Chain A
């Protein structure tokens, strides 16, 4: 596609519900990141994929958070038993090259999760 697509754009969940957030990166992009952006804050790293391999999940805040990218394209971020502190915008970003740290990331518009 022309850009990074994320769905749903908005999700309201009751506390304790499971949610799944989808990211469809630009076709052919090797690197994929998930970031969490709380209200009034900058994005914070959650996890990184190189193709289908999850090379870094050090930013996932708890074992309730799980991400996958089984075919090296679409990625899903799953949050189990949501808590109010999970309320944030979840951003997906991708890059066509292996991640050297100098790569320019293309971000999606984000999925805004509100946990009641």
Chain B
């Protein structure tokens, strides 16, 4: 079955330190991978995606993610965390078995807490 896993419910990091939010996936074929962020009382916002090409993808707000095919991972990273980065982060993968819909399968989310 196709799935995406976010092994950490919460990640705590001090402001100014680098952050990593982990994501691993299980799909058949070449994955399309996404990161979305959810702030309280707001909709999910797109951060970045990997479709093909360079394994290091840069996105919004200084975030980047590295696609690692051998480890089936797509970890989200930022060199220097800000308090305003505190939010709920979701990794998602395209459902390769979804026929024409190409719907996304989301992980359970990781709460990022950046302490001042």
Interface residues of A (CB under 8 A from B): 3-4, 33, 35, 40-45, 48, 55-56, 58-59, 91, 93, 99-110
Contacts and interface: CB of A to CB of B under 8 A. Distances in A.
Nearest to B88: A42
Contact of A107 (B45, B98, B100, B108): B45
28 contacts: A33-B103, A35-B106, A40-B108, A41-B109, A42-B90, A42-B92, A42-B107, A43-B90, A43-B106, A45-B103, A56-B99, A58-B101, A93-B43, A93-B44, A99-B100, A99-B101, A99-B102, A101-B32, A102-B32, A102-B49, A102-B51, A103-B102, A104-B49, A105-B104, A106-B43, A107-B43, A108-B43, A109-B43
Interface residues of B, number: 26
A112 to B, nearest CB: 9
| SS of B interface (majority) | loop
Given A102-B32, A105-B104, 12 more contacts: A4-B43, A42-B92, A42-B107, A45-B103, A45-B105, A56-B98, A99-B102, A101-B102, A107-B43, A107-B44, A107-B45, A109-B42
A62 to B, nearest CB: 19
| SS of A interface (majority) | loop
